[in-house]
Amino acid sequence: MQFTYVKAITIFARESTHVWLLFEQITIKLTPEFRVSFCDLLGGFKEEEEMKFLTTAKLNWFDDGCCDVKYLDIWNGTALSYQPGQPIDASWHVDSYELLLGTDEEGRLFRKAADLLMRYQFYPHDVLSHVSDFGLWNRWAQVGDRIVQRIHLFSLFGKPVVDVIAMNEVRQVITEPRRYGFTYVTVETHVEQGEWTACLEWDPDNQLRLAVHTISRPSPEEPARNYSFMRTLQKSAHQRGLQHFKQIALA
């Protein structure tokens, strides 16, 4: 059966291995092999390759990310799509932020914030979730570690509908007595190219500050019609991340 028109979609139950949907008065059970192929119901796309005219992003449907650790192995050998310090032109976005966390006389806040940052506890879970090499080993980020991001595009009733899966690699780590931070860069499976740097600094005047610097642009293969949406999502994620980090650091 093929649907060419859908007026409304309601998720009314979700089991560990099945998703149930209600299309008006028709109930359809999506078995695991079809969970990542919901687009079949909306337009007949049967292979991921056929989605590339819409986006080059790795889309994932109706998945809670419980098995995202597999991408650390699947994409382990994937090449980087950006090198720190490479020349950039006007097609790149450069964003810089500074967040004052407060006065820290004894270093207690500095130590807590450093632990959060070096474990990449930056973005709220409804923006993105992640798994990483350093997370698996329950340690701080190190050069060469890879991070799999699940970026949430759309959820319904608190359940994921469609996410983007992306990967980055840690290329620089700062571990100084009063400065901690790291830089990661994109790999070729990422829908964007660029780098993200976050650095926590405990100033001599005991002010604790977080600086975030990013350089990015959409992958050259990404359709230009998506650029505006991607940029809006990116800037929102930056702000949400800064707010979230300050909230959990000061909690």
Q: What pLDDT is attached to residue 120?
A: 98
> Within this chain, do residues 107 and 184 fall inside the same structural domain, yes or no?
yes
> Within this chain, do residues 154 and 35 fall inside the same structural domain, yes or no?
no
* Any domain includes 63: no
5-48 pLDDT, tens digit each: 333 333 333 333 333 333 333 333 444 443 333 433 333 334 44
> Within this chain, do residues 31 and 145 fall inside the same structural domain, yes or no?
no
- pTM higher than 0.85 for the full model? no
> Within this chain, do residues 79 and 42 fall inside the same structural domain, yes or no?
no
Determine the structural domain holding residue 22 and report its residue range: 9-51
> Within this chain, do residues 114 and 41 fall inside the same structural domain, yes or no?
no
Separation of alpha carbons 13 and 150, rounded Å: 22
184-228 pLDDT, tens digit each: 999 999 999 999 999 999 999 999 999 999 999 999 999 999 999
> Within this chain, do residues 35 and 78 fall inside the same structural domain, yes or no?
no
Say which range, 22-26, 108-112, 120-124, has the weakest mean pLDDT. 22-26
> Within this chain, do residues 33 and 147 fall inside the same structural domain, yes or no?
no
> Within this chain, do residues 90 and 46 fall inside the same structural domain, yes or no?
no
Number of domains into which the chain is organized = 2
| Residue where the block lists tokens 């980090």 | 245
In this prediction, residue 52 has a pLDDT band, given cuts at 50, 70 and 90, of low
* Any domain includes 1: no
* Any domain includes 31: yes
> Within this chain, do residues 207 and 108 fall inside the same structural domain, yes or no?
yes
Contact yes or no for 147/140 (Cβ under 8 A): no
Which of 195, 190, 196, 194 shows the shortest CA–CA distance to 222? 190
> Within this chain, do residues 40 and 78 fall inside the same structural domain, yes or no?
no
> Within this chain, do residues 14 and 98 fall inside the same structural domain, yes or no?
no
Q: Inform me whether the pLDDT recorded for 105 exceeds 50.
A: yes
Residue 108 sits in a domain of what CATH number? 3.30.530.20
In this prediction, residue 92 has a pLDDT band, given cuts at 50, 70 and 90, of very high
90: its two tokens: 């006007």
* Any domain includes 59: no
Q: Inform me whether the pLDDT recorded for 49 exceeds 80.
A: no
Average pLDDT, the chain: 84
Which of 159, 131, 167 shows the shortest CA–CA distance to 62? 159
> Within this chain, do residues 98 and 217 fall inside the same structural domain, yes or no?
yes
CB neighbours of 236 closer than 8 A, spacing ≥ 6? none
